Amino acid sequence: MSTPIDFYFDFSSPYGYLASRKIDELAAKHGRSVNWRPVLLGVIFKTTGGAPLTQIPLKGDYSKRDFARSARFHGVTEFSMPSPFPIASQAPARIILWAKAEDPNRVPRIAHAFYQAYFVDNRDISNPDTAANVAAEAGIERAAARSAVDDPAIKDALKREVEAAVAAGVFGSPFVIVDGEPFWGIDRFDQVDRWLATGGF
Amino acid sequence: MSTPIDFYFDFSSPYGYLASRKIDELAAKHGRSVNWRPVLLGVIFKTTGGAPLTQIPLKGDYSKRDFARSARFHGVTEFSMPSPFPIASQAPARIILWAKAEDPNRVPRIAHAFYQAYFVDNRDISNPDTAANVAAEAGIERAAARSAVDDPAIKDALKREVEAAVAAGVFGSPFVIVDGEPFWGIDRFDQVDRWLATGGF
């Protein structure tokens, strides 16, 4: 494995969810590993002036249609628009950062479980207890996961992680950086694929 | 030819330009014609609260990089970021509407000429005289094209056209509607292609 691909995402992001179902295979195809980096779009939007897609006039209705259609297009058969939406994603993001510090190999499994819980099973993972339950179902010690959500050191680590993402130019979800080259959106995965195959174009 | 594809675009939109280089072939592949429908993003953004991509923090730098990279990805070898950017696109849009009323078959040729002038030759087509020159080079009577820019009936037709686009849910450029199904962005052309091939998915 050479340099990992940086995969930034928000657990409340539908396109982030779709990308999460594609990123492992895409990276593996090119002999790359994936660094799963949860971010908080709500914080990032304070820098960019962005807003949740579904709340923007015209774009809101379109995006709800496009989420489901893009899921079908990309062969992600499991997708349902959750309610409430969007949600604050601090709880799952903190559990990921805590788990990554302990053992990064566990991270993809837990991240997939969080996305599955929210976008397939409509469980509100913004709730720390629910997030801890989902982590436990993914094989993580529940009490430790639950504690991570309120751990000041983990809170601070997530804050720094989001700041680092903004400093790296990340403004949306999903956002992939390959050897310094930034790609926004699952609709750039075709370009990511070619970039990885050719080293740039 | 069955029902035309509605192709909405702003002459100041880089992704609209890239799409303009792809839409004829895409439609022809599926036996469809294209209805070229110029719109004014500046007017539409009053409804959606949108802003020119290049002026948004973080997204601005990314988008300039992505315009050029997407041009290479889509095999559009002619592309250079013009200055000034963005521009008001009333002049070329009005000439298109006038030309369409006279003879719709001329429209693609003139539209390609406008996009070529701005995104390849860096000519400021917001200027009515420049726009009329470009139209003349595309085989249109110059004086008539120049008059169309200031014609109150054509001005009103463009206003109604933009209102109709907003009413149809159009909020960006390019924007394609196929048999009632909306697709935003050149990065949805892969979905448009499948939709045309399958009648929906």
Contact call for residues B33 and B4 (beta carbons, < 8 A): yes
A75 contacts chain B (CB < 8 A): no
Tokens coding A123: 């469980």
Look at B47 and A57 and tell me if their CB atoms are within 8 Å.
yes
Closest CA to B148 of B108, B101, B114, B86: B101
Per-residue model confidence (pLDDT) at position A22:
98
A169 contacts chain B (CB < 8 A): yes
Per-residue model confidence (pLDDT) at position B108:
97
Contact call for residues B70 and A191 (beta carbons, < 8 A): yes
- Write the DSSP symbol of residue B4: P
B198 contacts chain A (CB < 8 A): no
Look at A201 and B69 and tell me if their CB atoms are within 8 Å.
yes
Closest CA to B163 of A66, A58, A63: A58
Low-confidence residues in chain B, pLDDT < 50: none
Which alpha helices (H) appear in chain B, and where do they start and end? 14-20, 23-29, 41-48, 59-73, 90-102, 107-119, 128-137, 142-150, 152-167, 189-198
Per-residue model confidence (pLDDT) at position B50:
86
Per-residue model confidence (pLDDT) at position A86:
96
| Cβ within 8 Å of A, B 87-146 | none
**Which helix (H) or strand (E) segment is A184 a member of?**
strand A181-184
Look at A58 and B201 and tell me if their CB atoms are within 8 Å.
no
**pLDDT-derived band of residue A113, with 50, 70 and 90 as boundaries?**
very high
A57 contacts chain B (CB < 8 A): yes
Tell me the average pLDDT across A77-96: 97
Mean pLDDT of chain A: 96
C-alpha span between A138 and A156 (Å, rounded)? 25
Per-residue model confidence (pLDDT) at position B2:
77
Of B73, B169, B194, the CB nearest to A194: B73
pLDDT higher than 80, residue A1: no
Cα B12 from chain centre: 8
Length of chain A in terms of residues written: 201
pLDDT higher than 70, residue A121: yes
A184 contacts chain B (CB < 8 A): yes
Of B48, B61, B172, the CB nearest to A169: B61
Closest CA to A173 of A56, A12, A54, A57: A12
B54 contacts chain A (CB < 8 A): no
**Which helix (H) or strand (E) segment is B177 a member of?**
strand B175-178
**Which stretch of A44-58, A60-74, A166-180, B164-178 has the lowest confidence by average pLDDT?**
A44-58
CA geometry: angle at A67 spanning A65 and A70, to 5°? 105
Which amino acid belongs to residue A59? K
Look at B72 and A201 and tell me if their CB atoms are within 8 Å.
yes
Reported as a single tens digit per residue, the pLDDT across B89-107 is 999 999 999 999 989 999 9
Per-residue model confidence (pLDDT) at position A2:
77
Tell me the average pLDDT across A97-116: 96
In a 3-state reduction of DSSP, which class is residue A23?
helix
Per-residue model confidence (pLDDT) at position A50:
86
Q: What is the DSSP code string of B5-61?
A: EEEEE-TT-HHHHHHHTTHHHHHHHTT--EEEEE--HHHHHHHH----GGGSTTHHH
| Residue A10 neighbours by CB under 8 Å, 6+ apart | A16, A38, A39, A40, A41, A89, A93, A173
Per-residue model confidence (pLDDT) at position B158:
98
